[in-house]
């Protein structure tokens, strides 16, 4: 399995869960220290389950880099049974101070990298059993003020995923977008991310019990979707938000 964003948060939790269930995970992140920590956790007796961890440091913000990741994964794995696009960036983009470069930077990782990886990996995904899981966000369909760039990138990834699922149907390769709600990760916990905005609005994105989800909550859904148990899920958004957007 090729998994991006494996150095922290949802990506790390997904890697640990997969390895515990015996999968071989080619984990990609730009944070080498984060990748090493993921490998350490996955190797602990409580988590270890016979799987294999392969760390690969890369920045996915360029087309050549993303294509290089796909080539490296194929060279190591031979084929890619599941492509799990979890990597993402979050940036505040208030409209009055917006720079178009902000959008370009966000789209480079949140949309273009998954698109390139899908294109490059597709020849090596087996017909009939292969699956692509793209982590989108409830921001794709629900209001996230001051984060229009992030929301737009996730909305585009959601639309891309649904249409790609129809395109790949003749090969019986599933494509499923998974949309988390508020989740406690290093990405969302970084207070500098929210500089200059009123974060009280985002309290409504939490479930009724008032706390964000855990990375493990989303990882469990990703693993289910990518497994044989999720074999009848295709081309439909799977929202994992604790009911906060019901």
- DSSP string covering 176-201, please? EEEEE-SB--HHHH-GGGGTTS-GGG
Tell me, yes or no, if 194 is annotated catalytic.
no
Which tokens belong to 116? 């390139």
Q: What are phi and psi of 97, to 5 degrees?
A: -120, 15
Strand, helix or coil for residue 234: coil
Cα angle 69, 187, 227; round to 5: 55
Which tokens belong to 105? 């930077």
Report how far residue 244's alpha carbon sits from residue 91's, in angstroms, rounded to the nearest whole number: 22
Catalytic pick among 103, 150, 206, 232: 150
**Residues annotated as part of the active site:** 150
């Amino acid at each position: 399995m090729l998994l991006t964003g494996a150095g922290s948060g949802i990506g790390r939790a997904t890697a640990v869960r997969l390895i515990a269930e015996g999968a071989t995970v080619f984990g990609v992140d730009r944070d080498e220290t984060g990748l090493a920590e993921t490998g350490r956790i996955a190797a602990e007796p409580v988590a270890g389950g016979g799987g294999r961890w392969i760390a690969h440091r890369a920045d996915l913000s360029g087309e050549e880099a993303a294509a290089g990741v796909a080539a490296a994964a194929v060279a190591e794995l031979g084929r890619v049974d599941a492509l799990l696009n979890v990597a993402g960036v979050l940036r505040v983009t208030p409209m009055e101070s917006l720079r178009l470069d902000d959008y370009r930077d966000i789209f480079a990782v949140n949309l273009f990298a998954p698109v390139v990886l899908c294109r490059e990996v597709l020849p090596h995904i087996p017909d009939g059993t292969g699956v692509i899981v793209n982590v989108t966000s409830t921001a794709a369909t629900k209001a996230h003020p001051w984060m229009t760039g992030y929301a737009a990138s996730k909305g585009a990834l959601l639309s891309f995923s649904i249409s790609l699922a129809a395109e790949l149907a003749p090969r019986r390769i599933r494509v499923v977008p998974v949309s988390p709600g508020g989740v406690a990760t290093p990405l969302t916990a970084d207070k500098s991310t929210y500089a200059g905005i009123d974060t009280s609005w985002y309290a409504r994105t939490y479930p009724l019990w008032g706390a964000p989800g855990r990375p493990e909550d989303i990882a469990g859904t990703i693993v289910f979707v990518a497994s044989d148990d999720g074999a009848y899920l295709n081309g439909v958004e799977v929202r994992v938000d604790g009911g906060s957007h019901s």
